[in-house]
Structure 1
Amino acid sequence: MSGDDVGTGDGSDAGGADTDASTAPPEWEAVFWDIGGVILDLESVQGAHAAFVEGLVDQHGLELSVEEAVDVWRTAVGDYFRERDGTEFRSAREGYAKGVEALVGEELPRETWEPDFEETVNASIEPIPGAPETIEALAERDLHVGVISDVDDEAGKEMLERFGVREQFDSITTSEEVGRTKPDPVIFETALEKAGVAPERSLMIGDRYDHDVRGADEVGMHGVAFGAEDGPAVSYRIESPEEVLEIVDGT
Structure 2
Amino acid sequence: MAAIDPDAVFWDIGGVIVNLESIQSGHRSFVESLLEEYQSPLPPAEALETWRSALGEYFRGGEGTEYRTAREGYHVAIDEILSGSADEADWEPLFQRIHDDHAEPNDGAVETIRRLSEGEFHLGVISDVDDEEGERLLKTFGVRQHFDSYTSSEAVGYKKPDRRMFETALEKAGVEAEQAVMIGDRYANDIEGADAVGMTTISYGAEDGPAVDYHVDDLREILTLVGMEE
Structures share fold, TM-score greater than 0.5 = yes
Deviation of 1:206 (Å): 0.3
Could you say what secondary structure the match of 1:230 adopts?
coil
Q: Say yes or no: does 1:188 pair with 2:172.
A: no
Q: 1:153 corresponds to which residue?
A: 131
Shift of 1:34: 0.1
Runs (4+) off by over 2 Å: 59-65
- Determine helix, strand or coil for the equivalent of 2:125: strand
Alignment of 1:48-87 (within 5 A): 48-87=26-65
Structure 1 CA distance for aligned equivalents of residues 80 and 26 of structure 2: 18
Residue equivalent to 1:240: 218
- 1:57 shift after superposition: 1.6
**Shift in Å, 1:64:** 2.7
Q: What's the CA shift string for 1:125-157, capped at 9, x where partnerless?
A: 111111011000000001111000001112111
Displacement of 1:28? 1.2
SS at match of 2:213: strand
Specify the SS of the correspondent of 2:226: helix
How many residues align structurally? 229
Residues in 1 aligned to 2:176 and 2:218: alpha-carbon distance in whole angstroms:
25
Distance 1:107 1:63, change over 3 A: closer
Larger Rg: 1
From 31, 36, 40, the counterpart of 2:9: 31
Does residue 94 of structure 1 match 2:72? yes
Task: Give the Cα separation in 2 of the matches to 1:128 and 1:56.
Answer: 27
Deviation (angstroms), 1:112: 1.4
What is the identity percentage for the equivalent residue pairs of Structure 1 and Structure 2?
Answer: 50
Which whole-Å deviations, capped at 9, do the CAs of 1:155-212 have from their partners, x for residues lacking one?
A: 1111101100000001010000100000000000000000011111111000000000
**1:98-247 map, 5 Å:** 98-106=76-84, 108-247=86-225
Q: For the residues of structure 2 that align with 1:35 and 1:170, how far apart are their CA atoms?
A: 15
CA distance in structure 1 between the aligned counterparts of 2:173 and 2:2, rounded to whole angstroms: 26
CA drift of 1:63 comes to 2.8
Deviation at 1:109, TM superposition (A): 1.8
Give unmatched runs, 5+ long, in structure 1. 1-16, 20-24
Q: Shift in Å at residue 60 of structure 1?
A: 2.6
Distance 1:107 1:233 in 2: 46
Deviations 1:87-139 (A, max 9, x none): 11111011011110000111532111111111111111111111011000000
CA RMSD in angstroms comes to 1.2
SS at match of 1:234: coil
Q: For 1:84, give the aligned amino acid.
A: G
* SS of corresponding position for 2:138: helix
Q: 1: CA distance between counterparts of 2:88 and 2:198?
A: 42
Distance 1:37 1:91 in 2: 18
- 2: distance between equivalents of 1:89 and 1:244? 30
Gaps of 5+ in 2: none
* Paired amino acid for 2:119: R
Is 1:18 the equivalent of 2:6?
Answer: no
Could you say what secondary structure the match of 2:198 adopts?
Answer: coil
**Higher deviation after alignment, 65-74 or 222-231:** 65-74
